């Protein structure tokens, strides 16, 4: 017969021929009686609920046990208040970290300028209609400033960070520089120290007094800046051979006006300054050298060539 055939028999694993063979043995009746008797028997009763109750009162509810046995028995009902406190702490920490990891963002309105200080004490002056954001919390790992528009950076001595714009990344080390990223224009001007500009995979080093300009996707060479700081930081917008379209867009931003042009070649270059304080003066600064006429109608300005009207 099979190994352990009695165990197989008890488990109904015998084939019928094997079962018949077993049933024919003289011992079978005895086996059967043992099993059928055991079927009617049971072990001493055990009441789980009562046992658990006594378990709790013996081991879990009395703090003395903990001291005597030096085991880490913790009272079960201690958990509830602890969990409550824990939940509050988790929420508080969660909120704190959530708000702390959010980027700090500064956006300027039209005709507005804003000055901020970065976590490393570098100063940033944000020109009108621009947005700058950075993360205070991860500043040490991730020294990045995102810029849309124009801003002037005075980097604290020995500090390094990147200015990220849609058109390129400007990396700096202890310098003063201006980044202008507007529609059709990406211009970085270095006033002090050295900056490197990564634009479309090309890295350009800009020493003090030089500028890197991309006009409508093309890198153009521009004259060096003559001032110590960008003119806009002292409330004047200054242009050197800049397409009129870009100049007008800046005037709109600085004075919060809408300028409508008629019969104007917006690609014509303009060199000059306009005031960021006085809209009339600013319009004159543009119209007179270019022989244009302007009409102010509330927030709308119409600009057109003199000989066309």
Partner 1 sequence: MSEVVIPNVCEEAVFGNIYMTNSKAIYRYIYYKCGDEDKANDVAQESFLKLWENCKKVASDKAKAFLYRVANNLFLNDVKSKKIALKYAKQSENVDNESPEYVLEEKEYKDKLERALARLTEAERTAFLMNRIDGKKYKEIAEMLDISVKAVEKRIHKALQKLRETIDGI
Confirm or reject binding of residue 40 to partner 1 (CB under 8 A). yes
The correct pick among 15, 23, 34, 91 for binding partner 1 (CB under 8 A) is: 34
Q: How far apart, in whole angstroms, are the C-alpha atoms of residue 105 and residue 39? A: 78
Selected range binding partner 1 among 73-81, 163-171, 207-215, 224-232, rule: CB under 8 A: 73-81
Q: How far apart, in whole angstroms, are the C-alpha atoms of residue 2 and residue 8? A: 9
Do residues 131 and 106 lie in contact, with contact meaning Cβ atoms separated by under 8 Å?
Answer: yes
Confirm or reject binding of residue 41 to partner 1 (CB under 8 A). yes
The correct pick among 12, 17, 24, 27 for binding partner 1 (CB under 8 A) is: 27
Confirm or reject binding of residue 87 to partner 1 (CB under 8 A). no
The correct pick among 15, 20, 23, 51 for binding partner 1 (CB under 8 A) is: 51
Q: How far apart, in whole angstroms, are the C-alpha atoms of residue 235 and residue 277? A: 7
Confirm or reject binding of residue 8 to partner 1 (CB under 8 A). yes
Which of the residues 257 through 286 are near partner 1 (CB under 8 A)? none
Selected range binding partner 1 among 48-56, 91-99, 138-146, 242-250, rule: CB under 8 A: 48-56
Taking the alpha carbons of 246, 251, 252, 257 in that order, is the dihedral positive or negative? negative
Least spacing, CB of residue 1 vs partner 1, in Å: 10
Do residues 152 and 229 lie in contact, with contact meaning Cβ atoms separated by under 8 Å?
Answer: yes
Confirm or reject binding of residue 12 to partner 1 (CB under 8 A). no
Q: How far apart, in whole angstroms, are the C-alpha atoms of residue 12 and residue 70? A: 51
Q: Record the tokens describing residue 187, joined without a space.
A: 């211009």
Confirm or reject binding of residue 36 to partner 1 (CB under 8 A). no
Do residues 130 and 153 lie in contact, with contact meaning Cβ atoms separated by under 8 Å?
Answer: no
Confirm or reject binding of residue 38 to partner 1 (CB under 8 A). yes
The neighbouring-strand residues paired with 144 are 162
Confirm or reject binding of residue 37 to partner 1 (CB under 8 A). yes
What is the size of the binding site for partner 1 (CB under 8 A)? 38
The correct pick among 73, 111, 156, 208 for binding partner 1 (CB under 8 A) is: 73
The correct pick among 16, 46, 183, 217 for binding partner 1 (CB under 8 A) is: 46
The correct pick among 15, 20, 23, 35 for binding partner 1 (CB under 8 A) is: 35
Confirm or reject binding of residue 48 to partner 1 (CB under 8 A). yes
The neighbouring-strand residues paired with 190 are 177, 210
Task: Using DSSP, state whether 143 is helix, strand or coil.
Answer: coil
Distance from CA of residue 169 to its chain's centroid?
17
Length, in residues, of the chain: 309
Q: How far apart, in whole angstroms, are the C-alpha atoms of residue 154 and residue 124? A: 6
Question: For residues 48 and 218, which CB has a smaller minimum distance to partner 1 in the complex?
Answer: 48
Least spacing, CB of residue 63 vs partner 1, in Å: 14
Selected range binding partner 1 among 67-75, 142-150, 188-196, 243-251, rule: CB under 8 A: 67-75
The correct pick among 12, 24, 39, 183 for binding partner 1 (CB under 8 A) is: 39
Least spacing, CB of residue 15 vs partner 1, in Å: 16
Question: For residues 33 and 299, which CB has a smaller minimum distance to partner 1 in the complex?
Answer: 33
Burial of 204 (0-12, 13-18, 19+ CB in 10 A): middle
Q: How far apart, in whole angstroms, are the C-alpha atoms of residue 253 and residue 100? A: 32
Least spacing, CB of residue 27 vs partner 1, in Å: 6
Distant-in-sequence, close-in-space partners of 71: CB < 8 Å, separation ≥ 6: 65
Q: How far apart, in whole angstroms, are the C-alpha atoms of residue 194 and residue 201? A: 19
């Amino acid at each position: 017969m099979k190994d352990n055939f009695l165990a197989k028999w008890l488990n109904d694993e015998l084939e019928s021929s094997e079962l018949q063979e077993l049933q024919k043995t003289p011992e079978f009746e005895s086996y059967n009686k043992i099993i059928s008797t055991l079927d009617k028997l049971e072990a001493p009763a055990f009441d789980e609920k009562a046992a658990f109750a006594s378990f709790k009162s013996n081991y879990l509810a009395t703090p003395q046990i903990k001291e005597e046995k030096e085991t880490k028995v913790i009272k079960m009902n201690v958990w509830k208040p602890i969990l409550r406190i824990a939940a509050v702490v988790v929420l508080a920490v969660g909120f704190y970290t959530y708000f702390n990891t959010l980027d700090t963002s500064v956006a300027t309105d039209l005709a507005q300028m804003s000055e901020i200080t970065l976590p490393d004490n570098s100063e940033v002056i944000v020109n009108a209609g621009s947005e700058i954001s950075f993360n205070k919390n991860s500043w040490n790992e991730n020294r990045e400033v995102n810029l849309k528009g124009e801003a002037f950076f005075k980097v604290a001595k020995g500090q390094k960070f990147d200015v990220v714009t849609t058109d390129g990344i400007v990396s700096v080390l202890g310098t003063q520089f201006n980044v202008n990223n507007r529609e059709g224009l990406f211009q970085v001007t270095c006033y002090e120290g050295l900056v490197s500009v990564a634009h479309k995979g090309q890295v350009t080093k800009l020493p003090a007094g030089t500028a890197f300009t991309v006009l409508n996707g093309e890198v153009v060479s521009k004259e060096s800046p003559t001032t110590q700081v960008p003119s806009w930081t002292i409330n004047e917008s200054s242009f050197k051979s800049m397409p009129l379209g870009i100049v007008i867009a800046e005037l709109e931003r600085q004075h919060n006006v809408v300028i409508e042009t008629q019969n104007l070649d917006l690609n014509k270059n303009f060199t000059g300054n306009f005031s960021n304080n006085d809209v009339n003066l600013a319009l004159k600064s543009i119209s007179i050298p270019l022989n244009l006429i302007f009409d102010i109608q509330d927030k709308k300005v119409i600009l057109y060539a003199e000989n066309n009207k």
